[in-house]
């Protein structure tokens, strides 16, 4: 799905009418919970998936004109679908730029930094590691998102290319518990590596356990460098 170079003919009037503002929509679901959305028409679901896919693929939202181009409809029709989605409780709208998100009406949203490939020797949230941002309801409990590379957690429903939503463990009362899925930083200096694994402390050492029966545990013994960047609280997935 590519960003269109220019809005299709017939959408200029919609842009002048103020419909060509930025749309900011993401999908969020807590680990282990299944959302039960209200019934959507096939066209409404297509609109919802198109905005979600554009946001996750490009790191920024489409305009209404771009959404219309993806759906092969006018910007006015795209706006009609968005308002139907709002009525059904899937998102809230305003007239401002970046004006659509999945936070229910009245709930605050926040922009989470997205970490892509981790550069050796750099802090996890260093500018060099960032790959855009995502707006989410403030209640989601996450502080940043990390793009998953590889299939070590497929049996936990985390696939290559997914974004995991991560809650930092710096605040008092936040700690990793046995069995939590965490983002761990293994090694130090130029050799540090970020990995998503299940956290299993045992007998004075930490086992970072993959959710893939074809892969081996990572065992970090006492005294070896290990830092926990956070606990995974949700997953974002681009439907292809």
When mean pLDDT is compared across 9-23, 117-131, 158-172, 190-204, the lowest value belongs to 9-23
Residue 64 has what pLDDT? Answer: 82
pLDDT at position 148, please? 87
d(CA 239, CA 53): 7
Q: What are 90-111's pLDDT values in tens digits?
A: 776 666 544 565 555 555 667 7
Alpha carbons 27 and 97: distance in angstroms, whole number? 19
Question: Which candidate, 95, 68, 54, places its Cα nearest to that of 11?
Answer: 68
Residue bearing the bigger pLDDT, 196 or 239: 196
**pLDDT of 1 higher than 50:** no
Of 41-55, 71-85, 95-109, 124-138, least confident by mean pLDDT is 95-109
Which pLDDT score is estimated for 60?
Answer: 65
Among this protein's residues, is 222 annotated catalytic?
no
Higher pLDDT pick, 107 / 231: 231
In the chain the domains, ranked by start, together with CATH numbers, are 12-101 (1.10.10.10), 110-236 (2.10.109.10)
Choosing from 74, 92, 109, 197, which is the catalytic residue? 197
> Could you read off the pLDDT of 146-156 as tens digits, one per residue?
888 889 999 99
Burial class of residue 34 (count of CB atoms within 10 Å of its CB; 0-12, 13-18, 19+): exposed
Higher-pLDDT residue of 200 and 9 is 200
> What pLDDT shows up at residue 3?
40
Q: What are the backbone dihedrals phi and psi of residue 130, each rounded to the nearest 5 degrees, phi first? A: -80, 145
Give mean pLDDT, residues 210-232. Answer: 92
Confidence at residue 221, expressed as pLDDT on a 0 to 100 scale: 93
pLDDT of residue 32: 39
Selecting among 74, 92, 109, 152, the annotated active-site residue is 152
Q: Tell me, what's the pLDDT at 198?
A: 95
161-220 pLDDT per residue, tens:
888 899 998 776 788 999 999 999 888 777 778 889 999 999 889 999 999 999 999 999
Predicted pLDDT of residue 113: 86
| Pairing of the two strands 144-147 and 109-115 | parallel
For 37-43, the CB contacts below 8 A with 24+ separation are: 37/88, 37/90, 38/88, 38/89, 38/90, 39/88, 40/85, 40/88, 40/90, 41/84, 43/71, 43/81
In tens, the pLDDT along 21-68 reads: 444 443 444 443 434 446 788 898 888 888 777 766 666 667 788 888
The pLDDT value recorded for residue 95 is: 60
Please indicate whether residue 152 is annotated as part of the active site: yes
């Amino acid at each position: 799905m590519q960003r269109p170079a220019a809005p299709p003919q017939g959408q200029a009037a919609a842009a002048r009418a103020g419909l060509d503002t930025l749309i900011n929509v993401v999908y969020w679901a807590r680990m282990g919970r299944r959302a039960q959305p209200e019934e959507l028409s096939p066209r409404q679901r297509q609109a919802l998936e198109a905005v979600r896919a554009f946001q996750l693929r490009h790191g920024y939202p489409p305009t209404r004109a771009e959404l219309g181009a993806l759906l092969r409809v006018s910007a006015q029709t795209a706006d009609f679908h968005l308002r139907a989605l709002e009525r059904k409780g899937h998102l809230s709208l305003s007239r401002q730029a970046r004006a659509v998100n999945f936070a229910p009406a009245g709930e605050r949203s926040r922009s989470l930094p997205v970490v892509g490939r981790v550069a050796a020797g750099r802090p996890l949230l260093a500018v060099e590691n960032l790959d855009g941002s995502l707006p989410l309801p403030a209640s989601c409990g996450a502080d940043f998102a990390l793009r998953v590379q590889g299939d070590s957690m497929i049996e936990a429903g985390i696939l290559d290319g997914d974004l995991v939503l991560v809650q930092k463990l710096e605040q008092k009362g936040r700690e990793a518990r046995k069995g939590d899925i965490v983002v761990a930083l293994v090694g130090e200096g130029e050799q540090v590596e970020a990995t998503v694994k299940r956290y299993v402390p045992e007998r004075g050492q930490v086992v970072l356990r993959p959710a893939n029966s074809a892969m081996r545990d990572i065992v970090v013994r006492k005294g070896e460098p290990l830092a926990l960047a956070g606990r995974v609280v949700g997953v974002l997935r681009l439907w292809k």
